[in-house]
Structure 1
Amino acid sequence: MDARTTPADPDAVAPAEPGTGQSAAAAVGTPPQTPRAPAPTPADIVDPAELLADPYAGYARLREARSVHRVVGTDGLPAWLVTRYEDVRQSLADPRLSLDKAHAAPGGYRGLALPPALDANLLNMDPPDHTRVRRLVSQAFTPRHVARLREPVRRTADALLDALAPLGRTDLIAAYAAPLPIAVICELLGVAASDRPDFRSWTDALVVPDPARPERAKEAVGALLAFFARLLARKRAEPADDLLSAMIAVRDEKDRLSEDELMSLAFLILFAGYENTVHLIGNATLALLRDPAQLAALRADPARIGPAVEELARYDGPAPLAIRRFPTEDVVIGGVTVRAGETVLLSLAAAHRDPRRFPDPDRLDLGRDTTGHLALGHGIHYCLGAPLARLETEIALTALLERLPGLALDTPVDRLRWRPSMRTRGLLALPVRY
């Protein structure tokens, strides 16, 4: 699979072309270094269309061939892809694998390019800055604080379902899975309802760049910068009881957040809190609709919703790949030496279907012991908003099953369209009837 044929996404990856007699590194123009993963065989090669429609079969072939693969992105830049559970889990917590782009070697994949005012966020930081910044906002996402949001989240879900119930059919992504988390996260930050509709188009432009309109991503970045500048100015002038006002107070009174860190944090909370939860709700709903026995079991015992969400996140989570990492020194992963500064991509999708960790992993089992799943990360970069994501998904699914009896797919499964992205796993639309 040639990188030029992969989807238009910066995180799309493909094993380097076999049959050249060269190492995979040489296939993308990087001097070969020893030891290296062996050149891929035809069985290792995955069609990008297959990875978008169903990443799990393609990742399974890679995982069973070996854990670590030399890959190239759509831009032709090299990276290492890690696929087996134990290697992925250990790598997530390895302090030698840095998120700071300053440790990236020239010529490798570095991830989404953002201006400093949006890039100084937790996904690009190592300790001690990561520790300091995370501590400043962590209190807003503790289980106790998030529990206070249960009633407001349920009211939002019910209001959305009140509008949907008489219709009999709808696109569940546009009408429910997307507006619910954006309302919650904007309420948390203190973003007015009138400012919310643009967020989905801006995030789509960043996460799924349109190759026919490359200027859209740049326009989205400019719009986000302008929006957050106005929002921060308004919150400084008129502080309120919301997270953004509290973050500004930390910046202005104690000078513990830089201006770029403040804006970047607001961007990350909004971006990650919206993007991942939309697809967690959407993917979970689809998985249940495709498995009537599991759906019936959950309807019969709604108290199982907590463990069910953990299994649904493992089974088809919203993030096939963890954020890229850069070794600060040479490291050995899965028996392969990765040089300092090279890009490492950790495949959560492959790890979650690894039969070495999860027996019969391609089967949805709401009673499964999912301890150790990685959908929300592992180690010091464990998802800050994990309690909120769990709460929203639990409430969204519970309300959906209670309020829309007879819920079923309104289109054949093979006609569902997935976002053309390797960074996120999510549906463009989910037509349902009820």
Structure 2
Amino acid sequence: MISMRPERMIKLAVKNLGQYKLRAGLTMLGIIFGVCSVVAMLSVGEGANQEIQDKIQKMGSRNILIKSVKVPNEENNSGGQRTMIASYGLTYDDAADLARFVPNLEASIPIKRLRYDVQFKARRLQTDVVATVPAFIRVQNYRMVRGRFLTSADEQFGAPVCVIGTRLARMLFAGFDPLGQTLTIDRDAYTVVGIVGDIAQTELTPQNELWLEGENQSVYVPLRTYLQKRGDLFAQLAEGGSTFEKIELYELILSINTQDNVVRAVDAVRRVLKKNHRKEDYSIVVPLELIRQARETRKLFNIVLGSIAAISLIVGGIGIMNIMLATVSERTREIGIRRALGATRTDIVLQFLMETLILSISGGVIGLVFGALIPLMITAATDVKTVLTFPAFAVAFSVSVTVSVVFGIYPARRAARMDPIEALRHE
């Protein structure tokens, strides 16, 4: 007997499965749920990972962030004085030494960041005031929405100008055009010359009127202007008296020319700061290292999620094996007739494997469809970011087919090893 052509084998497999529609459908459910869970879980994991990496990336992969940290019991008070001055953190000398000794340094951005009451007419709110230099916007990858950012002339002459974030513009200047208006920062007047938005969050209409939740709410002023008006002392009210903090620089951002030179630059930063400070009243954050750690964590996270979801596929494969074993028992006489007519053992194995493949491929395709829909529904219902990726679809589908074939081999081989004579006698 000549072996059947593939198309004939497929038609026969579909016909045989069609005789047991309910059984075939229930068998496919295991594969459907398995594939669906793999795709959905990997999509949720990838979405969470990308959110983390986006936030880290916004800090600048070529940047080194140094912040002043208040060491416990740092207050320099004597006896029962009611007024205390705590002096700690980064200094202007640190900035000068780092600019001199850190290799491949492209820019050094000094920052003072404090919270003040900001007022326009009768509206008042508390927000971050960032005193910095013009290069800040380039290093932080922010973009201008309207107007301009701080300029070297503003910094040189101590101009009383400011740039505000898009969210602050919407909340404080509702009904007014912010540009050219004067706002008050704790009794100091500043003229608004620009509106800045975070590059990863701002979207614009042609009229620049779309301002999203979670946008920039800070005020940016020239560092020299702030020092002329406020200096380095910051007063805080406390029980029993006032507390003054003297912090020259709250933050310092170092931009390195290439990512390859960041690690070397970090070593130089640590050496300089360790030499200049008796106590470790500073912290160093390297976004590039955080990005690499996030990528390693993602790999482990995806392996764990994929392994958990793969259990469903194994359960589905076991279901296919059980159904095919039952099918072999029910079709013993059919197998005997085919063997008597000249079908080889290979023909019998291929016939049952074809039925297994049809079940697994059909269940896999349906599972992929639901696996794509579930993350979309999660995003729509909860605002949790999910990301559908081709590897998730490929892995889920290929594993489902592989598992099904592996679990289908034993029933197929059992059918092929039947003695034709004994099979024909079977009732």
The structure number with the bigger radius of gyration is 2
How high is the TM-score relative to the length of structure 2? 0.23
The structure where strand makes up a greater share of residues is 2
